[in-house]
Amino acid sequence: MKLVVLTGAGMSAESGVPTFRDALTGLWSRFDAERLATPGAFRGDPDLVWGWYRWRAAQVLRARPNAGHDALATLECLGHDVHVVTQNVDDLHERAGSTRVEHLHGRLLRSRCADCGAWREPDPIVAPYDGPDDGRREAPPRCERCTGPLRPDVVWFGEALPERAWDAAVSATAGADRVVVVGTSGLVQPAASLPTLARRRGVPVLEINPSRSALTHDVDDYWAMPASMGLLRFVDSLGAV
């Protein structure tokens, strides 16, 4: 079966990765996460923004895939054609073993030059973090090519999605036998439009979420449960090809 699984913050939250809706603590308690995740915030105070993302990267590196991530990798092992489309910027799907993952909002554990776009190896955003548990300001490294500041390779508010990832997500959704939406509020566009695209093509959509979302009224089936519980149930319902 050709499956597209759209995952949101609720998926990673079960691995202990904070969501943007969680209250910030420590150094960041004075700030709204959405105000830190903008090009303007980086231009205005690059040390603050880079420090926040370095702290977030350290949290992700300590996190481990949960049973939901493992369930999606199991579906591949059972012979299903699984295409994961995620709004999350962590690498937990890949670490669990999923082989086709589209990151609509970029990747936290990778950085690039804010001026020329060049990469740097080894990537400084994943270097060991020796700051306090509640974070610290940290000057972004400079690009070896043009001396511009490095920034996390994520999609900030006001920026366009990566074209290749978006095109792949749309293509996979249109050609799927079934779409599963897991742990997303359904409020962030254009990702939230993918389930609607599926239904217009006659593709059935299942939503797995502990509480109803902006998408629930427009899906074929809704399971009110956490991501890992729902995906384990989904694997059991399909079995091997």
- C-beta of residue 3 within 8 angstroms of C-beta of residue 178: yes
Half-sphere exposure of 189 (CA within 13 A, CB side): 4
Half-sphere exposure of 162 (CA within 13 A, CB side): 17
Residue 26 has pLDDT above 70, yes or no: no
pLDDT tens-digit map of 172-204: 999 999 999 999 999 889 999 999 999 999 999
Asked about 217 being catalytic, the answer comes back as: no
| Percent above pLDDT 90 for the chain | 86
- C-beta of residue 29 within 8 angstroms of C-beta of residue 71: no
- C-beta of residue 138 within 8 angstroms of C-beta of residue 96: no
Catalytic residue among 69, 93, 103, 105: 105
Residue 27 binned pLDDT confidence (cut-offs 50, 70, 90): low
* Residues counted in the chain: 241
Domains recognised in the chain with CATH numbers: 1-17+66-105+161-241 (3.40.50.1220), 18-62+111-154 (3.30.1600.10)
DSSP 3-state assignment of 103? strand
Mean pLDDT of the chain: 93
Enter the DSSP assignment of 87.
S
Residue identified by tokens 């926040």 is 52
pLDDT tens-digit map of 73-107: 999 999 999 999 999 999 999 999 999 999 999 99
